[in-house]
Structure 1
Amino acid sequence: MNTATKLGSYVLGLAVVFGGALGVGKVVGPVGAPAAEDHAAMTPMATPTATAGHGEHTAEQAKSDTPGGLQVSENGYTFNPLTTIKAGEPTDFRFTVTGPDGKPVTGYQVEHDKKLHLIVVSRDLGSFQHLHPEMAPDGIWSVKLTLEAPGAYRAFADFAPTGGSGLTLGTDLLVDGDYAPRALPEVSRTAEVDGYTLTLDGELTPGQSSRLTLKVSKDGKPVTDLQPYLGAYGHLVALRARDLAYLHVHPDGEPGDGTTTAGPEIVFYAQVPSVGDYRLFLDFQHDGKVRTADFTLGAGERPAIPAPTPTPTPTSSGHGDDGHSH
């Protein structure tokens, strides 16, 4: 074996060892390490259909085949966490968004009542937080953040720089400690939170705008006096299982437009990029408090799982039925 061949085999061996080490066990590493992007083989994000009252990021998404949140940098903007987080400890989480000039961005457009939305989820999609940090004059953002358990988390910064289009950047947050990833919650169309019952009607169709209707009730009675939250009666985030592609949608219509009612139904138009399972997180406000309901929903038909290949039965000659033995 020549020197080049030996070196190639050695590098390949290292890739296998380090790749396997990330699967289970103990999380140890710096906060903000970029995720290993495994989305190259996934179906690209289809161009959303613009609809009144939602899809404000349509123009930006149309420019890229990469779904939101899978990249730490895009169009010269980079999401930079500055804080180490320990499990169960409230932390003043600090970060910047640097621009094409390498300096922290200080000019942002207000979208949905805020200059920047920070979403933090566990990578198994069992936990979800929607936060609104405050920015200092030097461009450093900060917000109180508690990550209860060790493991891998994904943070999304959703914003639009002044004079620019909307972006969603994502980065991993690694919390040291022993952990075991949980299975994705089963497909569900009903959620219970703080005495409220939420039901979801509609289907996700890959590549098409899909109508989703969420109905809110409490103690068996329809809720008809939802309160505006971030300029709407509901706020929905959808994340694709496995790679956590991010889809940020808002309901059809808005408070005060003369046609949109304050419940019990909230209608969304969502467009997902591919077949698969998605986690949906709905924020809604009632009686002065914001609550979050979560659902698991599948999109499209799953590929059929092939039947296992029968094991050849050994014969008296010591060969399998296929006539070969190795």
Structure 2
Amino acid sequence: MRITIAALFAAVLVGCGQKHDDHAAKGEKPPDAAGGHAHGGGEHAGHKAALTVLDLQTRDGLKAGTAAKLRFTVPDAGGKPVTAFAVAHDAKVHFILIRQGLDTFAHLHPEVDPATGELSAEYTFPKGGVYHLFADYQEPGGMPMTATARVEVGGDAPPAAGLKADVPGLLAGEMVAARVSVGGAKAGSEAKVRFEVLDGDKPATDLEAYMGAMGHLVVVSADGKQYVHAHPDEKSEAKNVVTFGAAFPSPGVYKGWGQFKRGGQVRVVPFVVRVP
């Protein structure tokens, strides 16, 4: 099966650190969406959206519970597949998969065929339904970009639970907990997303670098149209505190996933915030 989907490349101001290069994206049709890729610092920079097409190929229909190898390419300005990718945070491409309803999240790093530009990643979708796909990448000497698409997965597709704001608060993640707060959340302004990672009731002081940073943050709006992928501030107030800067383009409900590495394992702490 071959699916050709329109994708949007863009950038907005997100993140805090040295310089923030941001992206925005949506699925099959160009949305009025925005998102970001943040890289520590104080100066912010963005670029205008550019329309392109993401070509996703699968040999068989995608089905929940069945391992699939996703294959896709990203076209350059001339319409040919990009074959050269710059390494950003220890990977050439960061591939994010989120089910509609925002109850399923995955962060993969596809293999790249340098001859054809084909990207491939193996994944078993845990549930059926529509998934938003986001591929963050950068051509050598170019700006960070996000290619995005949507794909439907067969199989049992239970409805996702409704989203309810839970920050500030003590939140449980995958074998980890964190006190999470979002300071200054306002549409069009940069907010501070702060994680105080805990080991039981004590500070988790053994955080390890994950893909070149002490954490990763992905935030998506409830409708899947707004997307942010940020990396943390370089300076931290404590060993177990990781802070990100993120700009929410419009009011509404957003869900975020903070990723942290402990004991060689990546742990995820989700949260939900309502932005006025």
TM score, norm. by length of structure 1: 0.70
TM superposition shift of 1:32: 4.2
1:110 and 2:77 aligned: no
Provide structure 1 residue ranges, at least 5 long, that are not aligned to the other structure: 1-29, 38-44, 254-258, 301-326
Within 1, Cα distance between the matches of 2:212 and 2:122? Answer: 23
Residue equivalent to 1:134:
111
Say yes or no: does 1:199 pair with 2:179.
yes
3-state SS in 2 of match to 1:98? coil
Are 2:256 and 1:280 equivalent residues in the alignment?
A: yes
Residue in 1 aligned with 2:50? 75
Pairing partner for 2:218 from 210, 233, 237: 237
Give the corresponding residue for 1:48: 13
Aligned to 1:218: 199
Once the two structures are TM-superposed, the CA of residue 185 in structure 1 deviates from its matched residue by: 2.9
Q: What pairs with 1:224-263 in structure 2 (closer than 5 Å)? A: 224-253=205-234, 259-260=235-236, 263=239
Q: Any conservation in 2 of the 1:279–1:296 contact (CA below 8 Å)?
A: yes
Give, in angstroms, the shift of residue 86 of structure 1.
1.6
Task: Select which of 256, 265, 269 maps to 1:289.
Answer: 265
Structure that is richer in helix per residue:
1
Label 1:216 to 1:142 Cα distance change in 2 as closer, same or farther (>3 A). same
> Which structure has the higher relative contact order (CA within 8 Å, separation 6+)?
2
Residue 176 of structure 1 corresponds to: 154
Cα distance, 1:110 vs structure 2: 1.2
The equivalent of 2:139 in structure 1 is: 161
State the SS of the aligned residue for 1:291: strand
Go from structure 1 to structure 2 and tell me whether the alpha carbon gap of 1:193 and 1:296 turns closer, same or farther (over 3 Å shift).
same
- Equivalent residue number for residue 266 of structure 1: 242
| Displacement of 1:50 | 7.1
CA distance in 1, matches of 2:7, 2:85: 29
Note if contact 2:71-2:118 (Cα within 8 Å) is conserved in structure 1.
yes
How is 1:29-68 mapped onto 2 (pairs within 5 angstroms)? Answer: 32=3, 34=5, 47-48=12-13, 51-53=16-18, 55-57=20-22, 66-68=33-35
Q: Which protein is bigger by CA-based radius of gyration? A: 1
Q: What secondary structure is seen at the aligned counterpart in 1 of 2:147?
A: strand
Separation (CA, whole Å) in 2 of partners of 1:201 and 1:170:
28
> Would you say how many aligned residue pairs link Structure 1 and Structure 2?
252
Instruction: Tell me whether 176-185 or 114-123 shows the greater mean CA deviation.
Output: 176-185
Q: Larger strand proportion, structure 1 or 2?
A: 2
Identity %, equivalent residues: 32
Cα 1:46–1:206 shift into 2, 3 Å = farther
Report the Cα offset of residue 166 of structure 1. 1.2
Q: Is the 8 A contact 1:151 1:174 kept in 2?
A: yes
Q: Describe the shift of the 1:53–1:127 C-alpha distance in structure 2 as closer, same or farther (beyond 3 A).
A: farther
Q: Is the 8 A contact 1:113 1:230 kept in 2?
A: yes
- Kindly indicate whether the alpha-carbon contact (under 8 Å) linking 2:164 and 2:272 is maintained by their aligned counterparts in 1: yes
After superposition, the CA RMSD in angstroms is: 2.8
Q: Normalization by structure 2: what TM-score?
A: 0.81
